[in-house]
Chains A and B, each alone.
Chain A
């Protein structure tokens, strides 16, 4: 375990090397957030939907952007770079599981991003927040395992997709596909509450809604306590299933591996 902790710490430290990047990242996150806030204010202001309050929406945006930030540095992109320039051979020389290494590495990068990008958003949102109902203790307690599973699931899916780089070499487009699936079936752009029935139904068949949407639902107390086990269990099962799948894919991938450049 210690080795993964060190990989995480060093990755975080590497991010700290560039200060101005943090500053600009902060600014762009704040602007992006503001755009969404005003957009939703205007949309909800039309009064078509009365079951979603503006403060709820705000919390939704906040938690959503924080969780997405945690998987922003995308494993697929990192595997691709390592494949293209051949550094993958150096990574495989270390006595550490490749998946664990990748997980710690991305988490280090992303925690930094999440802290620098979302911190200002948090402060900003305080100005829009009055009237928000914070969840009770039980919902908060349920939120954490659900959010952790969501993050793990996001990582798992990008990792699995990233392994495609072993076959494709170039796979930058995978990120866009994942982003698309996540937006549509995971409700990261528009909450699934607003979806038409057939899309809502479809989202249950895919892992994406358990990434951020279900944890946020728990946080907003839209999921009753006695039903909370359903999304948590579903996320867990997806995670187990995909982890087993990635082992098979990894085995096939190492067979395919060619190392570029000497």
Chain B
């Protein structure tokens, strides 16, 4: 592989890491409250409100059912307003975040819903209000699942970011398509796949170690 291609590989890796981390953090910050809201307003939840729950559920399902490549293009006007441009790495972060937020919200919802109802009842019996329940029970007890779910979301985002090449965002997926596939440069394809495998393994390894440390069940 030529030094130029190697530089290109490094730059693409950086673009992928940037897209994945930035949209991952945004989806964590937005998706966790959304997941919490889904659990709290759901049937038997601590702020049960089935009407709000149905609306939230429908919005989440709506975004999740649109194929990412369509969302990428459909969101171009929104991206232009937020980032000021509809092409490039930063422009890809907007649709990636918007796709990953409802995805992560559902994962967080499952972890939060898994928290033993007896624990909520125990804190209610101590005179705790619903924010005490969120702060002392739901979030700490679901934390291992919340972290594990974030790991899954990051890995999914690495895959989705390959499509972001369609709006000129670059990244490893884009490199593989343009050099490895369209120009038949098998060595580039192999190099990209190896880098992706290492990246995914690293994220998973860090996530698993973190979950081990947090899980006292």
The answer to whether A and B assemble together is no
Which residues of chain A have a CB within 8 Å of any CB of chain B?
none
Which residues of chain B have a CB within 8 Å of any CB of chain A?
none
